[in-house]
Amino acid sequence: MRLLRPSPRPSRVAAAWIGFVCLARIGAAQPADAPSRGDAHRLVWHGHIEDSDFYVTRAKSAGDVNRLPQPFSHEHSIKVDFEYVQETAPDGSVSWPRRRISWSIEGTQGDDTFTESCHGGGSLDLGSSRKDQDLTAEQRQAMQASCEFKKLATAFRPYGHLPSRPPLPRLPGLSEFDESCAYREEHGTERTSIWLTPDVEAVVEMDTKPGTAYARFVPEPGKFVELTVKTVPPFPARFRFVIDRDHTSAFPGYAGNAWIDKWFFKRYHLEHLADEYKDSSPDLIFDKLNFQGRGWSTVTQEVVETSEPLSSATARVSAMDYGAIGKVRVYFQCQCGARSSSGGQTAWTPARIVVGGNAREAVSIPLDEDNNLMADALEDYKGDPGRDDDDTPAGDGTRGDGLTAFEEYRGFLVEGFACQDPMSDEHIRTTPRHKHLFVYASAGPMEPNDHSDPDWTEAWDLWNERTDTDLEQYVEDFFAWGADLSVIPVCKRHLQDVDTVIAKVQHWTASDEYLPVPPESRVVNFTIGGRELWAGPIQFEGQTVHRGPQHGVVIGYDNLKPRIAHGLAIPTEPGTSMGSPKRTAIVLIARDFSRSVELLATIHEMGHAVGIPHHSDSRKDWKAVAGALDVTPGLSPLQAAGLPLSSQENAPGPSEKLDALVIEPCGICREGDPGTVYRKGRFAGCRVGWIVRRGQQESGDTGCPMAYFFADVYEPPGVRATWRWRDVVTDAPNLRPDPSSQREHWWNVDAWGGELLRWESEFTDVMNYQARFCSSTAGTHENAGTGERNLAGDAGRSEPCRNFIVVNDNAETDPK
Amino acid sequence: MKTRSLAPAVGPGPLGSWDDFKAGSPVVLEEDGGYRLWYRGCHFLGADYGCGVGQATSKDGVAWQKGEAPVFVPADPFEREHLDAIAVARGKDGYVLWYSVSSAAQAGRHRATIRAARSKDGRSWVPAGAVVYEAVSQGWPLRPVALWRDGRYHLWLVDSRSAIDPKTRLFPEMPSDGDDALLHFVSEDGMKLTPAGSTPTRAVGMGREALWVGPEPSGGFRALFYEQTPSGSARPGVAVLRSADGSNWERAPAEAMPLPVSDLNHSGPPGISLSALPAKAGLFAWFGVRSRRGSEAIRVAFRKEAT
């Protein structure tokens, strides 16, 4: 670290030299209103010092040799900028009327015996003085970094200390300057550059009053903000505008679910950038279309420079991402003297930035005075960009929808007029207060395109993107209303890798418990981490912008496989996985039922996709926990043996699957009634398919889409169906079962007894009554009837459906 | 070293040009009866600092004609700012450029890396993309040197052999001959390096100096490096190593070439890079030297040797 040391030359001699070399030349080009203070000459010394070092070596032994196994690491980074104004009076005396310095200093070092860290930074107006190096004790103290030394062991190892103060400017003698009034040096890890300019400053003033273009600016690809810089007082200078890459976003893609592709350039009329703008490019650029003509000498996406000295210049900064956020720095360059024959020039000096009357180091685009990476123009997006605390609907208490406020601000491309036409895609910013769910409703043929067949052209790809308008309506209008979620229809391209899901589901059968799709498939916020799809969190400027992948839901008609149910929400994992959308590989809805049934099945299965179990079941540790459940031929052996329904044990007998259930003779089953069966020639009861039990699938709010409506026979209040026997029955007393014949007249059955009753369901058209997920477990309609006219009673669990809804795929990592 | 001729060969460009502060890390190849030089050039003014690779040509090895623009500039700003040293070799399908990028903990890059680029003509370079080599030691520079021989590339660099164990977070016990070694790699394409062998640097009395390696007509290799502060009573100059296979090196003290630092007009800190080529009746050597202010220039020396 360099310490303050005296200038090698007397300052009076130096001043005379400056006056001759620089000011005399400046005077020739000086306009009438250039700075003039009597006959005094003013010159500005600008400087930049940078020193950074890093190494890891072996810790020192007692003999001061680096040979121990413990590592010793050292790291420091120092930056200093200064601006000293030198005034030479007519009598040749020199003073320093203005001195400013800013610095940052960071350092850490240590081994297993100690750690030391230093941190500091700031800026000081050093005021005027007779000598450039004069500092008060207070000023020296202010530059002292805050250092902490921790002793971890008693051993002492001789290391040097970290730099705890920035190196102070050492102004070289003028003979050390080159003909362009610049001085540069590098010693070890430290670089210093000093250059001289006339006493002129450049200023960029950004008006932030409501209604001004800057205050209203919200980034969209192709939209721009204008920055104007002026020299004060007016003086010829060249200007340079720089996108500060270190503080400017370069989020891959241009929205949460849209990569830079040919449609991007077409949609935003940016075709002229198609060969040069990439996913990795900065989100703010200088669009060359805005810098045509002779006024600009250097034009790149990151830097533009004016070609000739002017007293002002205006540059347009274009956004290329809906979440673009960054800093633009502006510099000016006055010739120290007349331009030298070698074209020499001074270094670029930062312009003074004033934003809404306040000094800033750079211009933030968009205006972001609260430094939350989001445009101040949008009131919805105040506060922490990394928060994900959408609180409606409350659901299971998990806040958020898996999207940070920044991701909701950056927004998503969604289906426009038609998915076959990418140009019709629309961009939306979603509110960070309400939970959203993205749904792709495939119209089929649900055939993936692996592009191995040349006949699958892009047009075919796009045709394959089309969505099913019925399913979309069911989901967007009815499911969304029922769940109080904001459901956003998207195209296949708006979710990650839907093709793989569709490819895999072609081979799925009803005997498969789940569909193992890649975890990255179906993700909607897939661009921000790049092609690698980071798990998160991802930060920018020290603030979280992404917490993890959030999945949408893929839904389609099951038109390729035998009908197995009204609908299915196929989980991604074995077991009874249930929770946020990442746990549902795909929702399949059976065709050929009535629209009402399709609608209800859609809402019901979508309910599963957001974590809602049946009224009989609850959910724990992201798995559905089954209740007692209605008695069905499939479950009867377990229910008969009293085994839990999740049991992996084989229930005792039968060797074959049961064909049906029988209820023993009772008030609703007399010989001759529908379904009459015989066992060994004697009347044994009536064949049924389903016994509704109290508090199970049909229970609770009958208007809730999660309630079943398969009423056949049921347990009235106070009655409990009990298993009686298992045998073969026939539909005629004198018929003998013939294993070689089809089971049209004999069946393997379980018989259940009890005073069961028959129920005639009054299923109404849900298109009219618009089901909402229940907010109470209490029975309604037929489940609220009095006496024995009560079908299934209250739901058999403690929470209603609305209290299970969860959209946030980060629910496990983000506590409620 | 008997200096017959010593003159500035390539210096920094005018202020504002891409190499206005440094021209160093020379690599010279003999071509078409003349010489081609690749060098690292750096621009420095104000807060702007960035480097690239430039090229110059010469008929006699002494007077050089620089190209106006760099022939290669890394696309990544970090790499531009931390471009450290280069190596160039001509293979059967063209040229390969290796360039080292120094570390910077503040940028999260804790180890120096070597990257590569290809060229058909030595002027138009295409980056290879992936990192060719990542240093074992953290925070220390890499200075590669390379050549093509026997149908494959040979690349040498000095690095630590003692990586920190990620589980214990400790270095291994230090080998009796030190951590650092002169590592020898071979490669068919210049991109995928296969370790061929190594020699502990302590065994040959060198540190982390920049090295030049050349093939010997009779087989084997000769390496040169500049010792600014040699041990014992030896004088500053060019030290010589020899190896039959490129992996096992021995010092050849009798071949050392004394050359005072003052003869090189070197006034900066230690760290002289060099390239050399046998010439008629002697040896040409080009040195990358530093001024007191840290700027760099390339100077040329000639050692007359008995034929």
pLDDT in tens, A235-266: 788 999 999 998 999 999 999 999 999 999 99
One-letter amino acid identity for A526? F
Which residues of chain A neighbour B138 with C-beta distances below 8 Å? 54-56, 73
Residue B26 sits at the vertex; the CA angle it makes with B25 and B31, to the nearest 5 degrees, is 155
**Would you state the pLDDT for residue A459?**
60
Buried (b) or exposed (e) across B112-144, using 16+ Cβ within 10 A?
bbbbbbbbeebeebebbeeebbebbbbbbbbbb
The token pair that represents A787 in the structure block: 């006496």
Q: Residue B46 and residue A55: Cβ atoms within 8 Å?
A: no
Mean pLDDT, rounded, of chain B: 91
Given a cut of 50, the residues of chain A with pLDDT beneath it are 1-38, 337-344, 446, 560, 648-649, 651, 816
Alpha helix segments (H runs only) across A212-274? 213-216, 262-267
- In this prediction the pTM is 0.68
**Would you state the pLDDT for residue A329?**
96
Minimal Cβ distance to A345: which of B16, B47, B110? B16
B253: which DSSP letter? G
pLDDT in tens, A752-773: 999 999 877 665 555 555 679 9
Number of Cα atoms under 13 Å in the Cβ half of residue B182: 30
The token pair that represents A215 in the structure block: 């205050």
The answer to whether residue A332 neighbours chain B at the CB level (below 8 Å) is no
Q: What is the ipTM of this complex?
A: 0.92
Candidates B96, B91, B223, B89; CA nearest to B150 is: B91
The answer to whether residue A67 neighbours chain B at the CB level (below 8 Å) is yes
**Would you state the pLDDT for residue A92?**
81
Residue of A nearest to B177 (CA): A67
Q: How far is A652 from chain B (nearest CA, A)?
A: 53
> In a 3-state reduction of DSSP, which class is residue B287?
strand
**Would you state the pLDDT for residue A174?**
77
Minimal Cβ distance to A54: which of B49, B139, B179? B139
Minimal Cβ distance to A67: which of B170, B174, B269? B174
**Would you state the pLDDT for residue A341?**
34
Q: Is the CB of residue A200 less than 8 Å from the CB of residue A163?
A: no
Which residues of chain B neighbour A53 with C-beta distances below 8 Å? 139
A317 strand-pairing partners: A225
**Would you state the pLDDT for residue A742?**
67
Which residues of chain B neighbour A81 with C-beta distances below 8 Å? 47
The token pair that represents B55 in the structure block: 């090229």
CA A503 – CA A498 distance, rounded (Å): 9
Residue with tokens 């001789």: A158
Candidates A143, A140, A147, A67; CA nearest to A106 is: A147
Q: Is the CB of residue A100 less than 8 Å from the CB of residue A124?
A: yes
Q: Is the CB of residue A113 less than 8 Å from the CB of residue A151?
A: yes
**Would you state the pLDDT for residue A563?**
57
Given a cut of 50, the residues of chain B with pLDDT beneath it are 1-5, 307
